[in-house]
Structure 1
Amino acid sequence: MPDSLANDRHPPARFNAARYCLAENARLRPDKTALVMVGDGTAERLSFGDVERAVRGIAAGLLDLGLEPGDRVMIRMGNEADYVLLYFGALAAGLVALPSSPQLTAGEAAFLMDNSGAAAVVIGGGCTVAPEALGGRLLLDAAAIARMKAGPPLPAYADTAADDPAMLIYTSGTTSRPKGVLHAHRATYGRRPMRDHWLGLTESDVMLHAGTMNWTYTLGVGLSDPWSVGATAVLYNGPRDPAVWPRLIARYGATLFAAVPTLYRQILKYGDLGAQDLSSLRHGCTAGEPLSVELLDAWRQATGKPLYEALGMSEISTYISSGPTIPVRPGSPGKPQPGRRVAILPVEGEPVPLPAGESGLLAVHRTEPALMLGYWNRPEEEAEVMRGDWFVGGDLARLDADGYLWFEGRNNDLMKAMGYRVSPNEVEAVLSDHPSVAEVGVAELPVRADVSVICGFVVLQPDAEPDAEGLLAWCAERLAAYKRPREIRFLDALPRTPNGKVQRKRLAATAAG
């Protein structure tokens, strides 16, 4: 897409993320397919003209309801086209989009509504909101969305500043409750280094993304990045059969495919790659979990296609990667993308970048346009992640002499499950409420060479009987599917430090012993 700002690191002072992704596409290529929403045997196609018309209709409809710039709009829907349109519609209106997962329990959804102070909740795809949790919020359903899409469009995109809030993403933190990561409109522009150097996107590409809508990996890599260059996005809303992805690549001529490493592993095992024509695929992209050398080799041998990894987090998305301009070095997620200001800082002491080869905390400079505005109503946690002019997310790493990053774990106990960050505190809080549980620790449990699952390590109350299935069912009623433990192990005591803190890193070894 022609762009006079292509070489600028920062967006213009007045910048709207929805306008950036849609306005020029609607003007230059209105009839080109922008989105293919694939269901179980169905496919809905929307052109760039269709998308912009619907987005601006939704934007006008939201404002006509009395919502004001900066109000939060919580989206509680499954993978459906209206999720996409609501997300960009909120941005187009100058509102703050709050994507949420349809897997959330009623209690989890109520927490997000209350904590965010959402002014409106949009539901679809079988999702519900408990009437007692709604309070005075607006509740919009499929019929309301249809009316807004058909109504008069917003005359012009909201004249937002680049630093105005645009999206509020909830992610697991170091407490027992998720925390909101607030991003500005500029974050969408700040994705350009990953778009160019990890994904290598061009107007002629077709991006197939395997993620769900509530995830920044999907909203960014699956939608905003392709649309920023006029490419086509393909998303899926059918049964989660690993064998479907090679069929979708072949059917829609996908040139890029994005997923988490776990899904690539499942595709290799169940996908029957040899039965599909994958000639359109240029390369695969993966993030959310570390990519093992074994999986990288297996994918390349099975498909003959490159697989490019990226490292990132909700606060900044991906900023380390391999890609068309950064050769793969097995075992490393790659280098800092060109234009990023990345350093390794000492774990303790002054925030002075360390030389190549020395291990420390991975940090990104505060001037990075993709960096969050901050944590929603948690200034104390913002202070914890800032070291001088550097944002430090807790990853331990080192940069080698060639600039490649080598990941060495985390400086805290956050877990990764299917690409989502999950706080052990949140899972422990749920298990602790069970009447049979006296003490609990939660950590990742390795089940294969490069696969780990969330596990609850439980000390029972006196006279309580071990019932792993009962505890898993208890969690299923209170936690989204991706947060739930997959296994329960019973211990006589939890490993603790001399000060009494649970040593989560020793839990798996204690259970094995």
Structure 2
Amino acid sequence: MLSIFDQGPPPPCPRPFNLAAHVLRHAQSYSEKTALSVLGQNSAVDWTFSELKAAILGTGTGLLQSGLKPGDIILMRLGNTVDFPIAYLGAIAVGLVPVPTSSQLTDAETVKIIDDLNPAAVLRDPQVTCAEHPNQMRLDELVGMRTLPPAEFAMGDPERLAYVVYTSGTSGKPRAVAHAHRAIWARQMMVDGWYGLQSSDRLCHAGAFNWTYTLGTGLMDPWTIGATALIPEPGTNIRDLPTLLTQQRATIFAAAPGIFRKIMQGNQRLDLPDLRHGLCAGEKLSRHLHDKWVRSTGTELYEAYGMSECSTFISSSPSHPARGEALGQPQPGRRVAIVGPDGPVPQGQEGTIAIHRDDPGLMLTYLNAPEEADARIAGNWFLTGDQGAMAADGQITYMGRDDDMMNAGGYRVSPVEVEAALSNHPGITQVGAASVEVKQDSSIIVAFYTGPHELDAGALRAYVSDKLARYKQPRAFVHLSELPTGGNGKLLRRALPAYFKATSE
């Protein structure tokens, strides 16, 4: 049997359609219910659904009154505050195309984005770095728009451009990923396929407002079904999150693996009486961290796999838990395959994880680089660039990025497999593996790890000797105070070899 998961497509997206209208579809029936709580240490700022909708549609009115027209691209340079999702959805509501970006971008990086997109306006918090642009709307102007009369939703073709996010392209240059309004319709497959989300839930997301993971999982998806979103205010200490979860009676907690890891440091037992389970995405979740969370909280932790081009589409869930080291399985309605040079490979064989080109959550294209998007299509499949293997029951095991794959004596080795073997060691808190060139045309596998103190290399070799084939075993071990990560806490495997060189000099 071939590695194809296809139980039929999801219901088609309605026409006409608007992403923001879909997110706020229950705002009237849940008008006085709390849609959002911004959590401080001693208090919370609450927004009801009616207040949220009024602020979003008032912002839409103000943006149009400023002279912007439907279809215009606007760059968002706003901070980690509630202003971000209000402006984002206000723009989409009236047919504008927002481009959310990290507040950590440098001036030089924003120059490139402005040159690439030629936006009609920049929504700007003066505290956030941004290059010059002739039409910058300050944060105080945006806040003032919220009391304006509500705009009408701009309904239209669900295939039209709704928003743009930036990600690294196959060339290493950041690419502008163009998404259609239908992208929010596709996210319904996550509600049961990952979240197990109900309208009565109080979902807390530990990420920043201006991170796409938070925008989707932490805000828009709960609002779409009438659930309450809980977001810790900027600057919240990660160690305080368990207390906030208890005080706010959170039923679901979502974060990246790094957040779960820090919460668990020094905590053998966490009493979270209202929590049903946790949600994890952003990078590969180690089995060690998963098991530690389960032991400590008595709740499950469900992992998801996705990408900027298609959000999450493979996951474990309350109805379909992951088996062993597997990520989980494709969400109901998704069509997913493991693809080799000649198409889908036999079950159990490694290949590239791919999603059907007609998935409603898949991007439209890369703006200004459509040829790069076309190059990732093979037949009916969009190639993610990540490696995996599919079992007979549809469960998929993640094997790492194609460009992260290591070579040992002619064998391809997944860094995830090496990391999993070491992650259970009691003296290791986090581990990353990479191939390091030690002399011309000669590379070895090196394991980089954090922990209370440096461990004996011989003991670590003995530890992995019965867990990994000889060619997969690291030849060197490097203790670091912390592993290199990106702005969202993801492990940067490409940066690891430099640490080996630094410690060897």
Normalising by structure 1, what TM-score? 0.78
- Matching residue of 1:287: 281
Q: How does 1:213-232 map to 2 (within 5 A)?
A: 213-232=209-228
Query: Aligned letter for 1:187?
Result: A
Task: State how far apart, in whole Å, the 1-side matches of 2:209 and 2:446 are.
Answer: 25
The CA distance in 1 between the partners of 2:232 and 2:267, in whole Å, is 16
Deviation at 1:77, TM superposition (A): 1.6
Distance 1:444 1:92, change over 3 A: farther
The 5 Å alignment of 1:48-447 reads: 48-124=49-125, 126-130=127-131, 133-134=132-133, 136=134, 138-154=135-151, 156-269=152-265, 274=270, 277-346=271-340, 348=341, 350=342, 352-413=343-404, 446-447=448-449
SS of the aligned residue for 1:153 comes to: coil
**Conservation of the 8 A alpha-carbon contact between 1:79 and 1:236:** no
Offset of residue 481 of structure 1: 4.9
SS at the partner of 2:68?
coil
Amino acid at match of 2:13: P
Q: Which segments of 5 or more consecutive residues in structure 1 lack a partner in the other structure? A: 1-6, 417-423, 425-442, 450-475, 488-502
CA RMSD of aligned residues (A): 2.9
Pick closer, same or farther for the CA change 1:483–1:48 going to 2, 3 Å. Answer: closer
Equivalents in 2 of 1:290, 1:380: separation in Å? 29
**What displacement does 1:330 show?**
3.1
Distance 1:143 1:73 in 2: 17
* Unaligned stretches of 5+ residues in structure 2: 1-8, 406-414, 417-433, 435-444, 452-483
Task: Give the letter aligned to residue 173 of structure 1.
Answer: G
Q: Which residue of 1 aligns with 2:12?
A: 10
Q: Distance between the aligned counterparts of 1:45 and 1:504, measured in 2? A: 41
Equivalent residues of 2:176, 2:366 under 8 A apart: yes
State the AA in 2 paired with 1:301: R
Residue-by-residue CA offset, 1:271-315 (whole Å, 9 max, x unaligned): 6854xx411100000011111111111000000000000111110
Q: Residue 114 and residue 254 in structure 1: after superposition, are their counterparts in 2 closer, same or farther (change >3 A)? A: same
The CA distance in 2 between the partners of 1:145 and 1:380, in whole Å, is 37
Q: Does 1:47 align with 2:48?
A: yes
Q: 1:486 to 1:358 in 2, by over 3 A?
A: closer
The code of the aligned residue for 1:225 comes to D
Distance 1:484 1:273 in 2: 26
Q: Is residue 9–residue 190 contact of structure 1 (8 Å, CA) maintained in 2?
A: no
Secondary structure at the counterpart of residue 27 of structure 2? helix
Q: 1:231 to 1:485 in 2, by over 3 A?
A: closer
* 1:335–1:405 CA contact under 8 A, matched in 2: yes
Task: Give 1:175 deviation, angstroms.
Answer: 3.3
Structure 1 contact 249–278 (Cα < 8 Å) conserved: yes
User: How far off is 1:482 after superposition?
Assistant: 5.5
Which amino acid letter does the alignment assign opposite residue 71 of structure 1?
A: D
CA 363–226 in structure 1, closer or farther in 2 if over 3 Å, else same:
same
Q: 2:202 touches 2:227 (CA, 8 Å); kept in 1?
A: yes
Distance, in Å, in 2 between the alignment partners of 1:229 and 1:21 is 8
SS of corresponding position for 1:140:
strand
Look up the match of 1:464: none
**Distance of 1:103 and 1:141 partners within structure 2:** 18
- Structure 1 match to 2:441: none
Task: Return the offset for 1:240.
Answer: 4.3
Report the Cα distance in structure 2 between the residues aligned to 1:506 and 1:399, rounded to whole angstroms. Answer: 30
CA contact (8 A) 2:10 2:333 kept: no
Partner Cα separation in structure 1 for residue 41 and residue 218 of structure 2: 19
Mapped to 2, the partners of 1:446 and 1:378 lie a distance apart of: 36
SS state of the match for residue 319, structure 1? strand
CA, structure 1 residues 242+146, in 2 after alignment: closer, same or farther (shift >3 Å)?
closer
Alignment partner of 1:12: what SS? coil
Aligned partners of 2:147 and 2:230: how far apart in 1? Answer: 24
Could you tell me whether the CA contact under 8 Å between 2:10 and 2:334 is conserved in 1?
Answer: no
Query: What SS does the corresponding residue of 1:289 show, helix, strand or coil?
Result: coil
Q: Identity, % of aligned pairs? A: 40
**What does residue 493 of structure 1 align with?**
none
Normalised TM-score (structure 2): 0.79
Following superposition, the deviation at residue 367 of structure 1 comes to: 1.0
CA drift at 1:79: 1.7
Give the CA deviation at 1:238.
2.9
Q: Deviations over 1:366-422 (max 9, x none)?
A: 110000011111022112211122100101111012211111122124999xxxxxx
- 356-365 vs 101-110, which moves further: 101-110
Q: From the superposition, tell whether residues 444 and 55 of structure 1 become closer, same or farther in structure 2 (CA, over 3 Å).
A: farther
Q: 1:256 to 1:339 in 2, by over 3 A?
A: same
Letter in 2 for 1:188: I
Q: How far apart, CA to CA, are the structure 2 residues paired with 1:509 and 1:181? A: 34
Query: SS of the counterpart of 1:28?
Result: coil
SS at match of 1:169: strand
Q: Deviations along 1:247-292, whole A, 9 cap, x unmatched?
A: 1211111111001111101000156854xx4111000000111111
